Amino acid sequence: MNEGEVNPNVIEKEFDRDTALLYRKKGPSIPFLAFSILRNASRLVSPQKNAQLHSKSISDDESTLQIMGGMRFYAMLWIIYANTLALSEKGVVANIKNKPKMFDDFMFTIFPTAYFAADVFLFMSGFLAIYSMLKLTKFNAFTVLYQYLRRAYRLIPVLAFVMFTARFLIPRFVEGPMCQRYNEQFGSCDQDFWRNLLLIRNFFASDISSTCLPWVWFVSVDFQLFLLVPLIAVLFQKSKIGGYVTSLALVGISLILTAVLNGVSDHPGANPYLDVEFFNSLYIKPWARAVPYYLGVYIGSSFYYHIKDEESNSIYLRIKENPWLRAFMYFTGFSSMFVITFVVFDYTQTMGTNWSTAAKVSYATIAPPTFIFGVICWILPALLNRAKLFRFLLTGPILTLLGRVSYMVALCHPILMIAINVTSGQQIYVEGYKMFAIFVGHAFLIYLLATSLNLMIEMPLRGLEGIWYDKFYAVNMTENWITAQNFEKASVKKVNAKEISEMTK
């Protein structure tokens, strides 16, 4: 140690290891901290925070936001399950013949209704986007532009890495009698890669048989809906009522557009898994997916103002104080999700042949908000630090880790499934229990792979965004503490000198 320096061990004891490390590192070595496997591994299981906000600015009341990690994990499992069944049904000869029998199974409805999991992801994305922005102390034109650049930076590099790996690296490891089918799945990436990187994939035909990561339509939709969030945040800073009205107005406009455009379409549909034309022409467009997203914006902003001032929202106070109201919310939420998924939706049994146009349009319009309403009824008590069972099932270091790698899982899991499917060859028949075993295997492998890629690719890229802010915060916090310690020592020395002087006299 040089003269005037402070022992890092003392800083670590007072704060934490990361603060001591950031304070000690100097100059060009700082960006390399973002690539530290050990540092990223420790952060992987810690509560997720926005890179624009330091964890010290997160209050205890906001710690309930950790339930979003568990929600991401369970929603992603639903999607993996549905895609496992979709690929098995598509690739197995005998299973295709048994499709009507499979669709008559009551529990099989979980497969074609898995698109609700995408709505849950959009709801959480809107919730967290507006919540993190409202916590910023100032908002101007530069801040708005930075939010757009930051969002693109968090999405595009990882997407480019996955697309490059799928197109050029994985084919070297795929072998077997059906291996040529893998290249058929990703062959058009040489020409169509720009659609994914410009986040406009959803404006082109995208079904499970098309090429070059057709499932990244979700990333495109999420970014397109995000474009309005910084502007809504600016509006909230000027008028809370104006922000609430705008959020709900966007929900209403989306409902109207979904109904009208589906009603005048030549091929109205109600389920994107079963109706490719409906999926391409309407479902993956931003105006049709705006309902869950901007409902998330509305709930996220209202929760932010409740945390800021608990007396600002009397409904939240009633939910916290009244257990009977919470019980009613649990029952209503479960009923809404169950009815809209299993009871109303007999589309799976007849594949839509006996549904009228009005029935299809009505279901496609009201199903997403109804399901999200059920989700809101379940999670609001947990966000308000009630519902211990839900918080137990949705929080914890493991669920935080599994939720944090969801973006990598969403991008990679169909690639893994296709590679395994074409490598293993063409099976004649896959029983139901074998499909479940395949799903478990896919889920285990993809989460193992995604965690590794998250540590090596996604977290370093995101870490570069916040490393200088973390360094600035750590240095300021430590130097303020050192200054306070030196002031106390100087005061003690001054008092001791005065006492000695008086004793000498």
Cβ partners under 8 Å of residue 390, min gap 6:
67, 378, 379, 381, 382
| Residue 253 CB-density burial (10 A; 0-12 exposed, 13-18 middle, 19+ buried) | middle
**Residues 414 and 215: beta-carbon distance below 8 Å:** yes
Token pair for residue 422?
A: 């074409």
**CA torsion, points 316, 305, 155, 409, in degrees to nearest 10?**
-20
Mean pLDDT to the nearest integer, 69-89: 86
Give the contacts of 429 (CB within 8 A, at least 6 positions apart): 92, 93, 94, 95
pLDDT, tens digit, 9 for 90 and up, residues 118-148: 999 999 999 999 998 998 877 788 888 989 9
Weakest-pLDDT range from 247-251, 285-289, 346-350, 362-366: 346-350
Check residues 5 and 382 and name the one with the higher pLDDT. 382
- Half-sphere exposure (CA, 13 Å, Cβ side) for 90? 15
CA pair distance 69, 59, nearest whole angstrom = 18
CA angle 352, 358, 359 (to 5 degrees): 45
Alpha carbon distance 69, 404 (integer Å): 7
Instruction: Find the mean pLDDT for residues 335-355.
Output: 81
> What sign does the CA torsion over 10, 11, 13, 18 have?
negative
What is the secondary structure of 393-428 as a DSSP string?
HH-SHHHHHHHHTHHHHHHHHHHHHHHHHHHH---S
Q: Please determine, for residue 1, whether its predicted confidence score (pLDDT) is greater than 50.
A: no
Residue 284: is its pLDDT beyond 80? yes
- pLDDT band for position 299 (cuts 50, 70, 90): very high
Structure tokens at 460: 């370093």
CA distance 434 to 193: 35
Cα 338 from chain centre: 23
Which has more confidence, 14 or 289?
A: 289
**C-alpha to C-alpha distance for 389 and 422, rounded to whole angstroms:** 42
Is 470's pLDDT higher than 50?
A: yes
Q: Map tokens 């389920």 to a residue.
A: 271
Confidence at residue 218, expressed as pLDDT on a 0 to 100 scale: 93
pLDDT digits (tens, 9 = 90+) for 161-182: 999 998 888 888 777 667 777 7
Residue 210, pLDDT above cutoff 80: no
Torsion of CA 233, 234, 235, 240, to 10 degrees: 60
Q: One-letter amino acid identity for 165?
A: T
Asked if pLDDT for residue 114 goes beyond 80, the answer is yes
Tell me the pTM.
0.88
In whole angstroms, how large is the CA radius of gyration of the chain? 26
Q: What is the pLDDT of residue 309?
A: 80
Count of alpha carbons within 13 Å of 133, Cβ hemisphere only?
32
Q: Compute the average pLDDT of residues 192-214.
A: 77
CA 157/CA 68 separation, integer angstroms: 24
